[in-house]
Amino acid sequence: MTDTSNKMWGGRFTMSPAEIMQEINASVGFDKAMAPQDIAGSKAHAAMLAAQGIISAEDAAAIAKGLDQVLAEIEAGKFAFKVELEDVHMNVESRLKELIGEPAGRLHTARSRNDQVATDFRLYVRAWLDATDAAIGKLQLALARKAAANAEIVMPGFTHLQPAQPVTFGHHLLAYVEMLARDRGRFADARTRLNQSPLGSAALAGTSFPLDRHATAKALGFDEPTANSLDGVSDRDFALETLAAASICAVHLSRFAEEIVLWTTPQFGFIRLSDRFTTGSSIMPQKRNPDAAELVRAKVGRIAGAFQSLLMVMKGLPLAYSKDMQEDKEVTFDALRSMTLGISAVTGIVDDMQPVAERMAAAAGAGYSTATDLADWLVRTLGMPFREAHHVTGRIVALAEARKVALDELDLAAMQSVHPSINKQVFDVLTVAQSVRSRTSYGGTAPQNVSKMAEAWIKRLEGQGV
Ligand code: ARG
């Protein structure tokens, strides 16, 4: 059995691992996704080792060339990852050895898989954060454009999912643009704290070799090296922060997705989705199901689940590295992939959806949604205290309800039976169109506000190169 013991630490080991040991221990099945980051880290490390005179320039050149070839093989799908080599780090190094021989053995000087994996994972999450910032920007732009095109379309605004006050469709869409802006802010904050290089922390204590950690940090696009080697190898808060921000973003998307699901029902009928974003039923020919929205609504489960999962993995772990931390990657990769997919799907849905203005307008006037406008009119015109106006309006609504008519269909005499000073000017404020037009307070739903806000967002996002 000695001949099959591990190449990397075979010196002390005489037996190969039990089958189940290998199965639970190996991470290459998923951490191979970090191969590009692993190779970038190794190239930076080797170049620095040579610059510091720790290895020769020739060896560093051979390592760099060999690593380029390894990357080319991986990208071409020609690389045979071996589970017995445990993880991506040892797979890459082992192949490098096959390609260039002895110099490959010098690459791991003053380095451990502990700082290596911490570096790779940071680079991986950082690349995702950058791509995601751009992707969310695109979604915001799609929403802002839809809002600008539909600034005048009225729909019911809800509280408790009961018709509350009329709003404009554009206003509703812009609410999500704001949420997504904060999501981008949270991701950007996470990136700022993430962007320190653990490389050169070695196993946990640093190293006696004269490393230039600032040089490797710079080469890998980090702002600076981590300042404590124990911290550098043992925290995964950068992944936790990213997953926390992703969980919040996923909650935002799930709320929007739920609205899409509601709005596409025949009962609401507020929007239409084309064949591109719906599916039929294999048994019910009339069906048109918003599957993409439903899946976005569900993805939050995985994403928030990953956050919980990693929190629990990290909880109570003594410093520094423990193998527990290998459990950080699978859930994170899955969550980030789900988030990316969700953002793209929602962007597609936003581009695709068409508002059904008549349905929205009809619903906007339902449920006495302009009752607040009536109460405000009583305050403004008759100088009534708002509490009293609320009471008077309540009685007028009850009257309209008893007669089964809308507020603006109730005749003046009926209104005057509740309060004699009401005059016919009141009818000016009772329509849905007038209601939304009047909401000109900053951040309010008036179409002129919405147009202005939508245009400002479009300009800002286009200015960001989205
Ligand atoms: N595959 C390991 C991980 O993902 C790499 C680090 C292993 N380090 C160690 N000391 N065994 O965490």
C-alpha 364 – ligand 1 centre gap (Å):
58
C-alpha 70 – ligand 1 centre gap (Å):
21
The secondary structure of residue 18, as a DSSP letter, is P
Q: Judge contact between 160 and 148, C-beta under 8 A.
A: no
C-alpha 312 – ligand 1 centre gap (Å):
18
The residue whose CA is least distant from atom 2 of ligand 1 is 326
Mean pLDDT in residue range 76-83: 97
C-alpha 88 – ligand 1 centre gap (Å):
10
C-alpha 40 – ligand 1 centre gap (Å):
18
Catalytic residue, chosen from 281, 322, 417, 421, is: 281
Catalytic residue, chosen from 160, 208, 282, 441, is: 160
Instruction: Indicate the top mutation candidate among 87, 235, 310 to test ligand 1's pocket, ranked by most ligand atoms within 8 A of CB.
Output: 87
pLDDT at 406 over 50: yes
Ligand 1 pocket at CB < 6 A: 27, 31, 87, 113-114, 117, 321, 323, 325-326
The Cα 199–Cα 222 span in angstroms is: 10
Instruction: Indicate the top mutation candidate among 114, 120, 201, 204 to test ligand 1's pocket, ranked by most ligand atoms within 8 A of CB.
Output: 114
Q: Is 201 a catalytic residue?
A: no
Q: At what angle do helices 57-75 and 35-51 cross, to 10 degrees?
A: 170
Work out the percent of the chain whose per-residue pLDDT is above 90. 92
Q: Judge contact between 198 and 119, C-beta under 8 A.
A: yes
The secondary structure of residue 279, as a DSSP letter, is B
Instruction: Indicate the top mutation candidate among 83, 89, 323 to test ligand 1's pocket, ranked by most ligand atoms within 8 A of CB.
Output: 323
The residue whose CA is least distant from atom 3 of ligand 1 is 326
The pLDDT assigned to 325 comes to 98
127-163 pLDDT, tens digit each: 999 999 999 999 999 999 999 999 999 999 999 999 9
Per-residue confidence at 4, pLDDT binned at 50, 70, 90?
low
In 3D, which of 17, 35, 42 has the Cα closest to residue 91? 35
Q: Is the pTM of this model over 0.85?
A: yes
What phi and psi, each to the nearest 5 degrees, are found at residue 198?
-80, -10
pLDDT at 92 over 90: yes
pLDDT at 29 over 80: yes
Q: At what angle do helices 88-100 and 113-149 cross, to 10 degrees?
A: 120
Q: Is 419 a catalytic residue?
A: no
The better pLDDT of the pair 12, 291 is held by 291
pLDDT at 17 over 90: no
The residue whose CA is least distant from atom 7 of ligand 1 is 113
Per-residue confidence at 313, pLDDT binned at 50, 70, 90?
very high
The Cα 295–Cα 288 span in angstroms is: 15
In 3D, which of 197, 233, 229 has the Cα closest to residue 213? 197
| Mean pLDDT for all residues in the chain | 95
Measured from the Cα of 88, ligand 1's closest atom is 1
Measured from the Cα of 87, ligand 1's closest atom is 1
C-alpha 324 – ligand 1 centre gap (Å):
9
Q: Judge contact between 40 and 61, C-beta under 8 A.
A: no
The pLDDT assigned to 5 comes to 61
> What is the helix, strand, coil percentage profile of the chain, to 5?
70, 5, 25
How many helices and strands (H and E) does the chain possess? 18, 6
pLDDT at 3 over 50: no
Question: Which two tokens mark 435?
Answer: 């209601």
The better pLDDT of the pair 348, 370 is held by 348
CA 439, 442, 444, 450 torsion-angle sign: positive
43-58 pLDDT, tens digit each: 999 999 999 999 999 9
